[in-house]
Amino acid sequence: MDWTTKVLIFILFFLYGVRLKPSETLAGLKHWKLHAVILSFTYVIFPILGILLGLMEPWLISGDVHRGFLFLCLVPSTVQSSINFTSIARGNVAGAIVSASVSNLLGVFVTPLLALWLMTTTGLTLDPSSVVDIACQILLPFMLGQFSRRVTADFVARHPQLKLVDQGSIVLVVYKAFSQGAREGLWQRTGIGDLVAIVVITGVLLMLMLWLTWQTPAWLGFNRRDQITIQFCGTKKSLATGVPMASVMFPAASVGTIVLPLVIFHMVQLMVCGALSTRYAAHDEDWHETTNR
């Protein structure tokens, strides 16, 4: 399992590197204000909230749960769901594509650095070899994917079934993390009270970020389409990127606890944002009908 997950994570980040188009991303950065706001939510506001959640320790959440929330706040945005929800809600799809791509491009470098910096201050001991693992299993394959795009991009684009690698690696890493966690007493350390606290805090965190990512662009003068893009790209956290990163960066016994808030947040964000995007689309249709009359 150890070597299988390492190989799959290597392939996963290689494919991420192949799929991301740096030329299109750079060209799309002309709308820099939009992307600056989204990245600020992803890599500044979220981490600050993650640090502030430490104020609830230990009277509401344990140190392990806080570290899980802190890691959740450090991972990049999703790509597919950010773009899909923006499209359904009739937001700025081009802006969503660029922002989601930039978020993941930066996340390969920024998330490990933030995690190594911030999470060691919470009492989590990181193995010094994790720096080498990050370089070998995340940075190296990603850069190889970027440099090989001239040869590999068309092949990957013609074979959408390669997404099974993404899904399979996530399932395997989550299975391994929670299996290892169960052997190390994860469910003895994480009781019903912790699970309830994780679900409640996850909901509050998502609602707060949805409100901030909607009101802030309105205050800054963005139009409705850009507001939608900022909201859906600025509130997402990627399970596909975060779980493999956690398995590389942290001790095996800690991974299950660390990714638990991310797994729950991912499910909640999909349900809430799915309903929200449908509501925005219906509002847009009603507005067009009224205008046409």
- The token pair that represents 240 in the structure block: 């596909």
Kindly give, in sequence order, each residue whose CB lies less than 8 Å from that of residue 26, ignoring residues fewer than 6 positions away: none
Q: Which two tokens stand for residue 128?
A: 């010094």
Q: Taking Cα atoms as reference points, which of 149, 77, 72, 67 lies closest to residue 108?
A: 77
Structural domain contains residue 291 = no
**Dist CA 172 CA 14 (whole Å):** 17
- Scan for tokens 């720096």, then name that residue: 131
- pLDDT by residue for the chain (293 residues), tens only, comes to 778 877 887 887 788 778 777 666 665 567 789 999 999 999 999 999 999 998 887 778 888 888 899 999 999 988 778 888 888 888 888 788 788 878 887 888 888 888 888 876 555 555 555 566 667 776 788 888 888 988 888 888 888 887 777 677 767 777 776 676 667 666 666 678 788 888 999 999 999 999 999 999 999 999 999 999 999 999 999 887 888 888 888 877 778 888 889 988 988 998 899 899 889 988 765 544 454 44
Rounded-to-integer distance, Cα 274 and Cα 277, Å: 5
289 three-state secondary structure: helix
- Classify residue 115: in a domain, yes or no: yes
Domain ranges, residue 246: 2-283
Domain assignment present for residue 293? The answer is: no
Residue 289 lies in a domain: no
Q: Which CA distances in Å does 178 have to 184, 239, 269?
A: 9, 15, 21
Res 29: pLDDT: 64
Residue type, 67: R
Number of structural domains in the chain: 1
Token pair for 50: 């993650």
CA dist., res. 84 & res. 61, Å (int): 34
User: Which CATH number goes with the domain that contains 120?
Assistant: 1.20.1530.20
Quick check: is 76 in a domain? Answer: yes
What pLDDT does 288 receive?
A: 46
Is 17 a domain residue? Answer: yes
pLDDT of 184 reads 63
Report if residue 290 sits inside a domain: no
CA angle 97/29/84 to nearest 5° reads 10
Is residue 195 in a domain? yes
Name the residue among 95, 75, 55 with its Cα closest to residue 231.
95
- Please state, in angstroms and as integers, the Cα–Cα distance from residue 230 to each residue in 179, 210, 218, following that order: 37, 10, 10
Runs of H (alpha helix) within the chain: 2-19, 22-28, 32-40, 46-52, 63-72, 80-88, 93-118, 129-134, 140-147, 149-158, 163-183, 186-189, 192-219, 224-234, 239-249, 252-292
Q: Please state the pTM of the whole predicted model.
A: 0.77
